[in-house]
Amino acid sequence: MKKIFLTVSILMMSFVQAQDFQGMAVYESKTSTADFMKGMSGNRDITPEMQKNMEERMKKMFEKTFVLNFNQTSSIYKEEEKLDMMGQDGGRRMMGMMGGGGTHYKNVKEKTTVVDKEFFSKEFLIKDSLPKLDWKLEGESKQIGQYTCFKATAVKPVSESDFRNFRFRGDKEKDAAEKKKDSTKTAKTNLMDQWEMPKEIVITAWYAPEIPINQGPENYWGLPGLILEVSDGKTTILCSKIVMNSKEKVDIVPATKGKVVTQKEYDEIVKKKMEEMREMYRGSNRGGGGRFH
């Protein structure tokens, strides 16, 4: 068995070292919407029927397929287009707001990344250095498809622009609000205040040493093998298909369209816009009819 494994590894290494080597991996991404729907249940303007409808649409929107094309040094990770996407443009805008979507380009040799995103109808090109995680290689292993994968974990600071990790504070604030006389108005006014962003999350990844590529989905990289599965807060990304050295080659180049910003600058833009929305929401519930610019 070990001899067979060694032979496969040597063959794979020879593929990777080839001048024109290129591979493709398909990933299925799912983000839990349970916490989001729990927060929405506190809004008395949303009927049970509306909530059920919203839950089904949100679930569909956060179950996506992505394709990672990679070579020895670079990769590009982007969503597979679907005709039945919720409102197409509306769904894409929502994903941009929630931190998903966009095209992720990584160059592990130069340690750079380029991500294009749309936020409130504005296009941004996020250029920055690759985030480096302090991976801890664990002893566990499991089979993903035909590959033996090994577990690695890391603690990652949460980007303030990635709303997929927003969480509902809990029922304490809601219960306190409901005890007040004007509970309806209070619950409405404080709805956005009941959400918070964790400072950091634990990442669990499973990588395949049989595919000796320092790559993975989104901005994940840095392990001694292609990352086939990663759990990132409420999101799980799992590889469902791998193709090595296909005759059809893909141009692995970064996007070029959009306002160039760093990740920190983009986070600040998103944070400022969300604060404006929060104030507008408060103003409209006080009867002020706040305006959003």
Letter for the amino acid at 27?
A: Y
Q: What is the pLDDT of residues 67-125, one digit of tens each?
A: 999 999 999 999 987 655 444 455 555 555 554 568 999 999 999 999 999 888 889 99
**pTM (2 d.p.):** 0.76
- Taking the C-alpha atoms of residue 246 and residue 260, their distance in angstroms, rounded to an integer, is 33
Give the confidence band of 277 by pLDDT, cuts at 50, 70, 90.
confident
Which has more confidence, 55 or 293? 55
| Domain parsing of the chain, residue ranges | 19-285
Contact 228, 144 (CB under 8 A): yes
In 81-178, the DSSP E strands lie at 103-107, 112-119, 122-129, 136-144, 147-157, 167-168
Residue 259 has pLDDT above 80, yes or no: yes
pLDDT at 228 over 80: yes
Instruction: Count Cβ atoms within 10 A of the Cβ of residue 207 and give its class: 0-12 exposed, 13-18 middle, 19 or more buried.
Output: buried
At 159, list the tokens.
Answer: 């980007």
Residue-wise pLDDT tens digits, 132-152? 899 999 989 999 999 999 999
Residue 49 — very low, low, confident or very high, per pLDDT cuts 50/70/90? confident
β-strand partners of 229: 206, 238
How far is it, in rounded angstroms, from Cα 204 to Cα 235? 11
Cα atoms in the Cβ-side hemisphere of radius 13 Å centred on 5: 9
